[in-house]
Chains A and B, each alone.
Chain A
Amino acid sequence: MPHVTFIHGIANKPPADDLLRIWRRTLADATDPLPLGDLGVTTSLVYWADLMYGKPDEDLSAHEGVLENTPAAVDASGGDTPPQPHNAEEAAFLERLRAEMTALSDAQIEAVNTPAVPAQPQGALERVPLPWFLKKRIMNAFLRDVHHYLFDVEYAPAGGTPVHIQQSIRKRFIDAVCHADVSRPHVVVSHSMGTVIAYDCLKRVGGCAGVDGLITIGSPLGLDEIQDRLQPEWTRANGFPRARVAKDWVNLFDRLDPVCGLDPLLANDYRENDAGVIKDHVVENGGAWRHSATKYLRQPVFRDSLRGMLGL
């Protein structure tokens, strides 16, 4: 009985059951439907938004619709404060990662409500036609979630007991892929920050079960700043997690997805014996917010890839 393990990305999310249902329904409602449940494909979700955010998003429609009129609909929910570095290394990391998102300083962003877009945008967010108050929240969510994970920050939302973020999320991922109910073929579908977590676990964490396929959508794994934090296990020549990904790794990106930054291709950075084996697919998600998970799930190439990996 095939199985798909999903893992979500940056920013706050609806409750786990709702999010999984929204993603499954998105696949089932497509023009060329891929109703996983009807096809006997079991699913699970690695959910970690609760470690970063006090309570789940209640606006479910924002996560399943195509409207881009609320923070939740553009992955800007909950990330209203930038992360605080604890040392120079973290500060440098955040500065570099921020520079991938925008060339504008905080002061410039604050100075005018809608900063002018330079003729040649220097950062990914400049290309996004959303108001800057939303873009700033998106950036904060991205920086904070990536930073807390990669630096294993001890953190809890207000009122909670702090936990080591990386250790906790790794455990959830490994528990999910090693679960007794999971059978083969088994495919991991990861979005956004979830692609970093999935890669980290599949490449760098002992005890993680192997899977048959990996799909990354809207991934920031192409960014140098992130790759640097995945060393020494990651190398450009042998970055592919072959020991735990038996078959294909398919990567989907939209050129205007700011989370992928200016380097959305992965085949050149995660090679196997110095050969490019990842299948990178460029897609057009449409609208202002190209990072939306459900937009990626609606792409025919996504469903074709998943269908092929599951043997359907």
Chain B
Amino acid sequence: MADENMKGMEHSEVHYFNSYNHHGIHEEMLKDEVRTRSYMNAIVQNKHLFKDKIVLDVGCGTSILSMFAVKAGAKHVIGVDMSTIINKAREIVEVNGMSDKITLIQGKMEEVELPFPKVDIIISEWMGYFLLYESMLDTVLYARDKYLAPNGLIFPDKATIFMAGIEDGEYKDEKIGFWDNVYGFDYSPLKHTALTEPLVDTVEIKAVVTDPTAVLTLDLYTCTTADLAFSSPFVLDCRRDDFVHALIAWFDIDFTACHKPIRFSTGPHTKYTHWKQTVFYLREVLTVQQGEQIRGVLENKPNEKNKRDLDVKISYQLQTDDPTRQAEGSCEYKMC
């Protein structure tokens, strides 16, 4: 935090950029094989796309993606990152003999000056929890509008948010019910807060009660920052008789420009990623039967005060003929 560049920044912003200085997060990301291997394959297996191209790596971190791009034959790569991790990236690029191929610039994308007026390809690992929390997508879109040549490529270029309903009684009790009795005391005010805080955690596939459904697809070639505040209806088909304590969200990432399209998912049905899944507990428990539907709307918008925080609202209605099980409601959440 003593860094000169941080002066005059919002406190929350300083914290955001600083949290990336610590090694733990980079270690976690690099050790996330689903993530790193997907990027590696998307880049290194597509030498025909990268050969002799100018590439921009938005939020380059330890510069692993930049180095993949050099390996794939890029003419030159520009890596931009706000965090002081870029000093490490410089050392890494140097010892790997790529200093002449990779230019690293510390600063905000919106403020730095690139050595090339246009780039052929933008690569970026910008995704946050719930895809959009603390994500760098707005920065990627800025870079696209300013620097991407016509017919340029974006890796990845498609992101889809999915939702599903889960049975999660025991853990909900542990996380939320905990506050009903803390060492013999009533702590319900904190229970209320707990319900508004989505949980980032691993969900087992056997907990999933409904079919997954896509609620939002972002095409990175065409979407704008305005699309990041959205309101999307969804329908969840219940696959068995069970209870639904929470709705969960995750995302899939597509590299459609690849010769053979590459895709990875952060859902409960596949391998662990550091993004896990995002759990939104409902205040009530839905009692559902196979064949019934939960219809609802997922709303998301950046918080007005702190743009890195998200305000999420989920409204839902259980479609059932059984009057005793009818349920309808809406819950507001804050990711911060």
> Does A associate with B in a complex?
no
Chain A residues with a Cβ under 8 A of chain B: none
Chain B residues with a Cβ under 8 A of chain A: none
